[in-house]
Amino acid sequence: MFTRLSKHSLYYLSLVVILVLGFLLVYNSSNRSFQIGTVVVTTFFYVLWGIIHHLINHDLSVKIVIEYILIGAFGLTIIFFLLSTI
């Protein structure tokens, strides 16, 4: 695991930057629509970044694309669940 982390450090660093940026934008905003929009855009970049990474590694498959989309959809559903039930 640590070998992979160091081998792909640039990829993971950029992913962390995307996620931290998403966090900071949501944290510093008091506008609900902007916060939701930020979560959607961050999720989109997470999916895109994951796909690009697998593409660079030459191990991209439809199954992997679907997996990233499903995890992204799961994350967005969690946010929808929270906002629609609180």
Given candidates 14, 37, 41, 54, which one binds another protein under the rule CB under 8 A? 54
What are 40's two structure tokens?
A: 């959607």
Q: How far apart are CA 80 and CA 61, in angstroms?
A: 29
Given candidates 7, 9, 16, 48, which one binds another protein under the rule CB under 8 A? 16
For residue 70, state whether it binds another protein (rule: CB under 8 A). Answer: yes
What are 48's two structure tokens?
A: 């895109």
Q: Within its chain, how far is the Cα of 7 from the centroid?
A: 20
Q: How far apart are CA 58 and CA 38, in angstroms?
A: 30
For residue 15, state whether it binds another protein (rule: CB under 8 A). Answer: yes
Contact residues for another protein, defined by CB under 8 A: 1, 4-5, 12, 15-16, 19, 22-23, 26-27, 30-32, 35, 39, 42-43, 46, 49-50, 53-54, 59, 61, 63-64, 66-68, 70-75, 77-86
